[in-house]
A and B are shown apart, each in its own frame.
Chain A
Amino acid sequence: MGVPLLSVRGLSTEFRTERGTVKAVDDVSFDLAAGETLAIVGESGSGKSVTAMSILRLIPDPPGRIATGEVVFDGRDLLKLEDHEIRSIRGNRIAMIFQEPMSSLNPSLTIGLQIAEPINLHRKTPWAAAMDMAAELLARVRLPDARSRLRSYPHQFSGGMRQRAMIAMALACQPQLIIADEPTTALDVTVQAQILALLKEVTRAVNSALILITHDLGVVARYADRVCVMYGGRIVEAGPAREIYARPRHPYTIGLMASVPRLDQAAGSRLMPIDGQPPNLANLPPGCAFAPRCRHATDLCRAERPALASSGPEHHSACHYHDRLSA
């Protein structure tokens, strides 16, 4: 990879709570090149959304705080920018599609207004023209009756329609980086396929990059170039998508793959979740965070935290026994 478009280095984000400091993201590093799609997968609560929000400095402070790290985007460390500088990047050069549309759509403004606003703000496009673009964008995310739907309020949209409105908003300013947090969870497979194809097409057209946060391993298989697997606030495995599927090198990833329901499985049979509870981020064990749930765990695992180590071509795993595992 040449000079990456985005380079995240040693990012740690924590939340101060009554129960202690929650280390939601702990020493996370990755690079992303223009034109590339990176998937972030991992357990619920493992820090995927907090990572994404940290990149754009959207962590509520208090209680949150980016403790350490660098987020170098196009040569500049976003964590060092003035507030007005980061605001001019947000929604413009970096767009975020949020996991829960209702939490980021304003319930009292029409959808049209909310999509046209960044176009008007960042591109100085007059309102009428911005509204026309909003209608076009809604049509591109496959919303029927796009023009008459500009006047709808978020509560008048279905779950998937809200999600698509958010995507339209993200595409409005042709960003160089799109961070999509579970962008298609509310969409059926056919619309999902159309939307992901659209995201790919848009990123290709302007050579931008895509961070795709998802727990749909089928989506990852179809759309991602590289994958980071998170567990307990850390990246535990990273590598090219094909590598990770063919040769997972971390017991958590192996468990994740095994818990996916598949169409070639007998209906009604038991699914295979990973046993045990997710780690308490306010009180992580000293060694490997996965140790209490890992059937390969040894005393070494419980005492010493494994570092991300090379485990094949461009493939890294944070497991003491990564070279001895087979799926």
Chain B
Amino acid sequence: MTDSAPERVLEVRDLKVHFPVMAGALVRRQVGSVKAVDGVSFDVRRSETLGLVGESGCGKSTTGLAVLKMLDITSGQVIFEGEDISDHDRARMRPIRRRMQMVYQDPFGSLNPRMKVAEIVGEPLEVHGMAGDRAAYRERVASLLDMVGLLPDMADRYPHEFSGGQRQRIGIARALALEPTLIICDEPVSALDVSIQAQVVNLFQDLQERLGLTYIFIAHDLAVVRHISHRIAVMYLGRIVEIASSSELYGSPLHPYTEALLAAIPIPDPAIEATRPQQIITGEVPSAMRPPPGCRFHTRCPRVMDVCRSVDPPMRDMGGGRAVACHLHGA
């Protein structure tokens, strides 16, 4: 028997998503485009959690939505369980949708206010004909609610009756209903208090172990990301700048942006915080309409060199599954 490499659930190749920017009061014309995702490649293996972190607006949610084909891809490829879905239309996506779910960043915008919680959570089961008889259905919904720490009597309430964190858990229960292969979690725990966050993170890990789920986990809380992810990709302005195992990334970050990100994590201890220098990367946040030439981080990089201003550093394989795009780490 040979030891085969773990199977890839998802392969993303040079993905680009550009949004047109229009102007003009009467005649609308395109004046440019926001290069939200601008050449992103990565793989995710079965039962793996890939963390996706980076500055607000750098293209994380857009990457997630593009992988699910909920946005038009400008160019590049998305291969899900061996099938190239880059050019699939809605109809061809339908059977695949069941196996790919998303937990959304903004729970308010993504829950139907006219549906009761039980209906919201159970709807995917009905849509995909997995509802079973009445009793089985009720039981399944109740167990989904219980999994995410909601009380059974909450099933008959409407979303507006819940707090922000409770709504987020409804979204998670809904995504889990179909037991999909891949779940893209977009800030799934950032609306939750730390104790419930801990419950949900443990829940994600249990489900992964039990059902072999694969996750892309987008989040800003780097302690949580490190906790749950096997590997982490760091994005900056539409690109991945570093990808490594969690322990390597946190232990020895290679890219200066990763370093800056790790240095900015607040520590839950006022005594330490009072004496710690506030390390904030400065400089103008560059435009995703006109990304800087050369290295995209060069306008803010504390270690910028001449070459960085003109030459775009390619992604370099550093071995052991680690890669970085920075001239400091040349061949």
Contacts and interface: CB of A to CB of B under 8 A. Distances in A.
Interface of A: 15, 17, 19, 41-46, 49, 99-103, 142-145, 148, 151, 156, 158-164, 182, 185-194, 197, 215-222, 241-242, 245-246, 255-257, 259-263, 265, 267-274, 277-278, 280
Contacts of A259: 194-195, 197-198
Contact of A190 (B55, B60, B287): B55
Contact of A17 (B161, B198, B223): B161
Interface stretch (B3-11, B100-108, B125-133): B100-108
A100 B260 contact: no
Interface residues of B, number: 73
A164 B285 CA distance: 14
A44 B190 CA distance: 11
Closest 3 CB pairs of A and B: A160-B56, A44-B165, A218-B266
A130 to B, nearest CB: 18
A274 B195 contact: yes
Given A15-B161, A144-B285, A185-B187, A277 B278 contact: no
Contacts of A268: 205, 227-228
B220 A189 contact: yes
A280 B220 contact: no
B261 A188 contact: yes
A245 B269 CA distance: 7
A306 B284 CA distance: 52
B196 A273 contact: yes
A216 B266 contact: yes
Given A15-B161, A148-B21, A190 B264 contact: yes
A259 B149 CA distance: 15
Given A44-B192, A259-B198, A194 B266 contact: no
Contact of A158 (B23, B61, B108, B205): B61
Nearest to A187: B56
Contact of B267 (A46, A148, A215, A218): A218
A245 B270 CA distance: 7
Interface in B119-138: none
Contacts of B281: 190
